[in-house]
Every structure is written in structure tokens, then in C-alpha cells.
Amino acid sequence: MSNISIIGLGGMARAIGARAVESGHTVEVIGRDAVKAKEVAAALGATAGTFGATPAGELVILAVPHAGGVPVVAQYGEALADKVIVDISNTFAGPDDTVLVTPEGSSGAQEIAEAAPASAHVVKAFNTVFGHVLAKGGPLDVLVAGDDAGAKASVTAFVESLGLRPLDAVAWRWRTGWRAPACC
Ligand SMILES: NC(=O)c1ccc[n+]([C@@H]2O[C@H](COP(=O)([O-])OP(=O)(O)OC[C@H]3O[C@@H](n4cnc5c(N)ncnc54)[C@H](OP(=O)(O)O)[C@@H]3O)[C@@H](O)[C@H]2O)c1
């Protein structure tokens, strides 16, 4: 089992954090509100980390809205060196979540990767799973995408350890002919 850090204290942070603790991982939750971080940590059976300090986990799950992702990663700077950053964000906006905010030819994960230290690797995962569904338990499919094989293998193993079925997004897309929207 491994050390996992989660930046963000909302629904997805709690859903992933709860499953990770249940599955035997050591989990650190981190938020900009230190009091809330301690409350969430206590509720999950996790520890509370310090926002902006080097995360304890090898995997750092970035569980903040897309708009906050780049500023948070930029603020962490070299504290995220060598980490595997898991970007779970969806880049939708607007009243019905129908507007893609990433420009043509880019993606949320790409923007995060550009803001992260060169030695960090960004892997996209969990963005296609609803938090309230994840929180109910049971098996679900989790698409995993990334351009570093080792980082992708770490996230794939983590997803599997939670009792979920990881699917390599590229292989899955090739098999099914599915065309991804430019959200990921
Ligand atoms: N909800 C879902 O079902 C779902 C499914 C798949 C993917 N996602 C993605 O998961 C991510 C988190 O979603 P969520 O539903 O967990 O959101 P949420 O419940 O609104 O929680 C967001 C968390 O991010 C923190 N945050 C927001 N802006 C921040 C900033 N600039 N710096 C630091 N922390 C910041 C908030 O801090 P405070 O506690 O201080 O407000 C809060 O703890 C999003 O990117 C979303 O697209 C969500």
C-alpha cells in the first residue's frame, strides 16, 4: 500500500480519500483551510497536511476545480518535484456545464503539466466518475490517461487497489472507436 496526498477537501477528495483509507493506504488531505483539513482528515481516518508544503504522498491527487488547478500547482512549485500528480478535473463551465474552457488543441491535464515541475508526471483519472457514485462503493470503470508509462502504472495500480477497474484511455478509445471530447 502507498502514501497518497489529496489536495482539496470537497466531495471528490472525500470520496477518493475514504476508499483509499478503506483499502489500506496512508492518506494525507490538504486544503487551504487548515481547520477544515483537520476535520476532513479526522472523519476519514487520514492525516492533515500543510497547504503548500511538500506532500507526503508519492501520488498527489489534485481535487480542486479546474480553475484552481494551475494556480495551486504553480504555488506548490518544486514541492511537487518527482510526484505523480493525478488531475481529476473536468474543464466545463457555464450554467449547464456545457462550455469547455480549455482552448482547442489543449486540455486541463496539459495545462497542469505545463505548470508542474519538469520532474513531475501528470496522469488524468477519476474525472469520468461521479463523486456521489464513488462514495457508494462498488466497482466502477476509471479511465486513466498519461504520457509517462511508470506514472500511469502507479495510478492504474492505485485505482485497482480501490476495487475499481482501471481502463487505459488510449487503448479503450482504440478498441471502441470512441472520440473523446477535448475535456481531458
Ligand atoms: N463532483 C463530482 O462528481 C466530480 C466528478 C469527477 C471529477 N470532478 C472534479 O473533481 C474536482 C473537485 O470536485 P469536487 O466536486 O470535489 O468539488 P468541491 O466539492 O467543490 O470541492 C472543491 C475543493 O477544492 C478547493 N478549492 C477550490 N479552489 C481552490 C483553490 N484555488 N485553491 C485551493 N483549493 C481550492 C475547495 O476549497 P474550500 O474547501 O476551501 O472551499 C474544496 O475543498 C473538480 O475539478 C471536478 O471537476 C468532480
Distance CA 10, CA 31 (A): 9
Encode burial over 98-112: b for 16+ CB neighbours within 10 A, e otherwise. Answer: eebebeeeebbbbbb
The pLDDT of residue 181 = 52
In this prediction, residues 127-149 reach a mean pLDDT of: 94
User: Given this model, what pLDDT does residue 104 score?
Assistant: 86
Report the pLDDT value the prediction gives residue 136, as an integer from 0 to 100.
93
CA gap 17, 42 in Å, rounded: 11
The pTM (predicted TM-score) of the whole model is 0.94
- Sketch out the chain's domains with CATH numbers: 3-176 (3.40.50.720)
Q: Is the pLDDT of residue 178 over 80?
A: no
CA of 43 to the centre of ligand 1 (A): 18
State whether the beta carbon of 33 lies less than 6 angstroms from ligand 1.
yes
C-beta of residue 94 within 8 angstroms of C-beta of residue 39: no
Q: Cell 498527489 sits at which residue?
A: 60
Q: Ligand 1 in contact with 72 (CB < 6 A)?
A: yes
- To the nearest 5 percent, what fractions of the chain are helix, strand and coil? 40, 20, 40
Mean pLDDT of the chain: 92
What's the CA gap between 51 and 169, in Å, rounded?
31
Residue 174 pLDDT exceeds 90:
no
Mutate to test the pocket of ligand 1, among 32, 62, 133, 143 (most ligand atoms within 8 A of CB): 32
Instruction: Tell me the best of 14, 29, 39, 64 to mutate to test the pocket of ligand 1, counting ligand atoms within 8 Å of each CB and taking the most.
Output: 64
